[in-house]
């Protein structure tokens, strides 16, 4: 892991990340509450404990840069600038959700903030990201595409195909492997051969770095340097961020397949605590640190209330946005 020297901590920057991470945490907790209240309808995959990857990587992007995410994408999407209320509406399947209530947690997209979609199919976003970067290159723009995927995704074919494509065409894309140690109930290491994601990326010719994914400043510093090199025309780069999934795979998974003391130990290293410790060490008052959490919780609580008050889309939404040519209802009841 790259040990980033911390001579002078930029307190404002760290504060901003701390707030972003608190907002992500509070959003995930609101989503879990929604699951308990049976207003979240489908499966959710919480990113609790992984917030530094979202805050650090996405924080290093410009607003007009492009992001592709996964089934575990709430944090990435919020960090990119999506509205928390629209996200909760989507999770609740309501009008005013990012996708009009038609996608749900695993398909949240917000094209207005350059978020091209979560994905229900592991690894599918990797080749799509390469294509998005291909378009940017064709159009001569200076945007960068950031594609986040899990450690499990590197065992799918599109990983090889997408990285090779980006390298061959010299495309502006940052691939980020958000490694939380698990692919559903499986310890990813038990099903992954070789030296891991960065080694594979290097073998395809992409400069690759590993970073402590619970250290938000290290994540941001590393991502920022890579994004600058990509924007300067240097071609694709690869970032392997190591973190830990503190919850089960889904909101209902109690994760009985791993020991409680492992989780407890990892809880002590979680990114929000670490950022708060750094802030304290830099002289930021406890009340200010606490204010971030309180503000985040207030935001999500208000968003929750607004979202449950929103109506479901009408049945006609089933037939909207299917395709231009031909009626979807043709020949059906």
Partner 1 sequence: MARISYMEAARQALAEEMRRDPLVWAVGEDLGRGGVFGQYRGLVEEFGSARISDAPISEAAILGASVGAAMMGTRPVVEMRFSDFALCAVDELVNQAAKARFMFGGQTRVPMVVREPIGMWRSSAAQHSQSLESWYAHIPGLVVACPATPADNKGMLKSAIRCDDPVVYMEHKNLWPLEDEVPDGEHLVPFGVARTLREGRDVTIVSWSAQVHVCARAAETLAQHRIEAEVIDLRTLWPWDQETVLASVSRTGRLLIAHEAVQVGGFGAEIAAVTAEWLGAKVRRLGAPRAPIGYAPTVEDAVRVTEAATVAAVREMVGR
What pairs with residue 263 in β-bridges? none
Q: Report the nearest approach of ligand TPP to the CB of residue 181 (Å).
A: 8
217 token code pair: 């400043």
CA–CA separation, 220 and 224 (whole Å): 6
Which residues within the stretch 184-203 sit at the binding site for ligand TPP (CB under 6 A)? Answer: 184, 188
Site for ligand TPP in 237-296 (CB under 6 A): 245
185 binds, among partner 1, ligand TPP, Mg ion, none (CB under 5 to 8 A by kind): partner 1
190 near partner 1, rule: CB under 8 A? yes
Of all residues in this chain, which one has the CB nearest to ligand TPP in the complex? Answer: 150
Q: Which residues pair with 242 in a beta bridge?
A: 179, 212
Strands 186-187 and 182-183: antiparallel
CA proximity to 276, closest of 25, 4, 2: 25
Is residue 105 involved in binding ligand TPP (CB under 6 A)? no
Nearest distance, CB of residue 74 and ligand TPP, angstroms: 11
Restricted to residues 120-149, the positions that interact with ligand TPP (CB under 6 A) are 120-122
The option from partner 1, Mg ion, ligand TPP, none interacting with 315 (CB < 5 to 8 A, set by class) reads partner 1
Q: For strand 173-179 and strand 66-68, is the pairing parallel, antiparallel, or unpaired?
A: unpaired
Stretch that binds partner 1, among 95-103, 125-133, 197-205, 290-298 (CB under 8 A): 95-103
94 binds, among partner 1, Mg ion, ligand TPP, none (CB under 5 to 8 A by kind): partner 1
The DSSP secondary-structure symbol of 284 reads -
State the sign of the Cα–Cα–Cα–Cα dihedral 270, 272, 278, 280. Answer: negative
CA distance 230 to 138: 15
What residues line the site for ligand TPP (CB under 6 A)? 45, 70-72, 120-122, 150-153, 180, 182-184, 188, 245
């Amino acid at each position: 892991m790259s040990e980033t020297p911390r001579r002078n901590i930029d307190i404002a920057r760290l504060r901003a990340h701390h707030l972003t991470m608190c907002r992500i945490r509070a959003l995930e907790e609101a989503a879990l509450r929604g699951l308990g209240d049976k207003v979240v309808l489908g499966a959710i995959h919480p990113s609790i404990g992984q917030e530094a990857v979202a805050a650090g990587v996405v924080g290093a992007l410009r607003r007009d840069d492009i992001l592709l995410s996964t089934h575990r994408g709430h944090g990435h999407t919020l960090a990119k600038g999506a509205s928390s209320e629209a996200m909760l509406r989507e999770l609740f399947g309501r009008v005013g959700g990012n996708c009009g209530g038609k996608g749900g947690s695993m398909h949240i997209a917000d094209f207005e903030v350059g978020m091209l979609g979560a994905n229900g199919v592991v690894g599918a976003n990797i080749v799509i990201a390469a294509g998005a970067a291909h378009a940017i290159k064709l159009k001569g723009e200076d945007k960068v595409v950031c594609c986040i995927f899990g450690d499990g995704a590197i065992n799918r074919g599109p990983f090889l195909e997408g990285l090779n494509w980006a390298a061959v065409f010299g495309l502006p894309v940052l691939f980020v492997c958000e490694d939380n140690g698990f692919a559903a109930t499986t310890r990813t290491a038990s099903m992954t051969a070789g030296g891991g994601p960065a080694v594979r990326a290097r073998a395809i010719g992409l400069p690759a770095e590993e970073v402590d994914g619970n250290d938000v400043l290290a994540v941001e510093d590393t991502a920022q340097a890579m994004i600058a090199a990509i924007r300067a025309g240097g071609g694709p780069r690869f970032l392997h961020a190591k973190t830990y999934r503190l919850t089960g795979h889904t909101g209902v998974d109690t994760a009985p397949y791993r020991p409680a003391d492992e989780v407890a130990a990892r809880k002590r290293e979680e990114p929000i605590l670490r950022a708060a410790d750094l802030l304290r060490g830099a002289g930021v008052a406890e009340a200010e640190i606490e204010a971030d959490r309180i503000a985040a919780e207030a935001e999500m609580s208000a968003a929750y209330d607004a979202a449950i008050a929103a109506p479901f889309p009408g049945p006609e939404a089933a037939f909207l946005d299917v395709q231009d040519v031909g009626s979807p209802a043709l020949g059906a009841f």
